[in-house]
A = this chain, B = another copy of it.
Amino acid sequence: MVASFIAIGDELLIGKVVDTNSVFIAQKLSELGIQVIRRWTVGDTNKEILYALGEASSCCDLVFITGGLGPTKDDITKKSLSEYFNVELVFSESNLQHLKEILSQRGIGVKEAHLTQCYIPSNAQLLNNKLGTALGLWMEHRGKLFISMPGVPDEMQYILMHEVIPRIRELKYGNCFLSKTFHTCGIGETDIAEKLEKYLHDYLSQISIAYLPSIAQVKFRISVFGDDEKSLRMLLNQCEEKVRLNMGHLIFGEDDTSISQELGFLLIKSGLTLGTVESCTGGEIASKITSISGSSSYYKGSIVCYATELKEKLLNIDSMLIEEYSVYSKEVAEAMVRHSIDMLNTDLVISSTGIAGPDGGTEKLKVGTIFIACGNKQRVRIKKLMLGKNRDRNIEAASILALNLAREWILEKS
């Protein structure tokens, strides 16, 4: 049982919006054993939408569509759907009722532009959307299912999770597709591939491995596909065992996780509290840590001493030390940890200092030279990173590697 996905919107083609919906939909479908096999991204014109509907229905059983359900003039998805199905657009009283409810929650009345949202293809069932005015649509046509949802990510997610997934479960679609994703930090794609081809040598013909590099991290996914869930699960378990046995702490987590999440688990498990003192990462380490719900149980806070003045004033770091070694040095990274641990009243502190770029490098210290440190008064681990010239990438890489350094520090300790 396969699905395809049509993303509608000029904004997606012209490069003004990143399509995150496709990621969410694919993840949720893969949990049901449904594979997304193709995706089309087309503009807000009738011709383009009809092209994509035709292509999609010829290659799969389920067609997911996002975008073009709003109240503005470029929202023409419903018109195109009715043309493709050769059915009428009809005014839906339940849709109007929904519109009134949502708008009254926001304290505004129904405007004329909103009324166009109430016309739906006559073969459509409405899918409730608690978060916005645009309802989803569920349509059957020549044995295929078409599901149309708004493009606003949280509204699409609401409809998918509360309305679409339960209905699909009832239909009992789906072959068996299992996968497991492993996360690594600070090791390259080719090195991982070499290791896996060795450790998983006996399984390579029955599994597929994909490598998903991102900044400072590589994930790899082992997938198996077939009819018999039990034997597939056994195969996947055997692969996992080999991987864990041979790669140990190189793997920091699996499936939907992040380095912040895993560090959080480790802190909770070991009963330690954490603080941060950031210079070049400018709050990004703190932000990554606090993106995790429940982080307040182990994380206390950060001093972002972006200006050198604040390193001296707030942290009491000796200006002589800064002068002697430069503010971008392992000595200052270490002092940032030692001077803040009492202030923040935590068991360990992560620090960062360096040149994020793109400007600010010197002959001795190139752009991308960043020092990260982690520790307490007894033991500080420091790493010197030699990154590139891209500011965003450098901040992201240094933040992730700093979180990984804290993970290593705790694992070493225990």
The one of B15, B221, B284 that contacts A26, using a Cβ cutoff of 8 Å: B15
Residue A164 lies at the interface, judged by CB distance under 8 Å to chain B: no
Given A154-B390, A212-B11 in contact, is the A290-B306 Cβ separation under 8 Å? yes
A388: chain B residues within 8 A (beta carbon): 131, 154
Given A30-B14, A113-B193 in contact, is the A299-B306 Cβ separation under 8 Å? yes
A281: chain B residues within 8 A (beta carbon): 287, 290
Residue A332 lies at the interface, judged by CB distance under 8 Å to chain B: no
Q: Say yes or no: A286 contacts B293, CB within 8 Å.
A: no
Residue A253 lies at the interface, judged by CB distance under 8 Å to chain B: no
Given A283-B286, A289-B282, A306-B300 in contact, is the A212-B17 Cβ separation under 8 Å? yes
The one of B282, B293, B310, B358 that contacts A291, using a Cβ cutoff of 8 Å: B282
Residue A304 lies at the interface, judged by CB distance under 8 Å to chain B: yes
Interface of A is mostly: mixed
Q: Say yes or no: B291 contacts A314, CB within 8 Å.
A: no
A73: chain B residues within 8 A (beta carbon): 209
In the complex, chain A residues 285-325 whose Cβ is within 8 Å of any chain B Cβ: 285-287, 289-291, 293-296, 299-307, 309-310, 313-314
Given A14-B221, A15-B27, A27-B15 in contact, is the A287-B293 Cβ separation under 8 Å? no
User: What is the total number of copies of this protein in its complex?
Assistant: 2
Residue A190 lies at the interface, judged by CB distance under 8 Å to chain B: yes
Of A35-43, A79-87, A373-381, the stretch lying at the interface with chain B is A35-43
Q: Say yes or no: B314 contacts A343, CB within 8 Å.
A: yes
Q: Which of A18, A276, A283, A307 has the most CB of B within 10 A?
A: A283
Instruction: List the B residue with the shortest CB-CB distance to A157.
Output: B390
Q: Say yes or no: A72 contacts B193, CB within 8 Å.
A: yes
Of A135-143, A264-272, A391-399, A404-412, the stretch lying at the interface with chain B is A391-399
Q: Say yes or no: B291 contacts A392, CB within 8 Å.
A: yes
The one of B37, B42, B282 that contacts A286, using a Cβ cutoff of 8 Å: B282
| A286 and B399 alpha carbons, distance in the complex (Å) | 14
In the complex, chain A residues 335-353 whose Cβ is within 8 Å of any chain B Cβ: 343-345
A-B residue pairs, 10 tightest by C-beta: A282-B290, A283-B286, A15-B26, A283-B283, A39-B41, A302-B304, A15-B27, A283-B287, A300-B307, A15-B23
Supply 6 further A-B pairs (C-beta < 8 A) apart from A40-B41, A284-B287. A16-B221, A17-B212, A113-B190, A283-B284, A302-B303, A302-B304
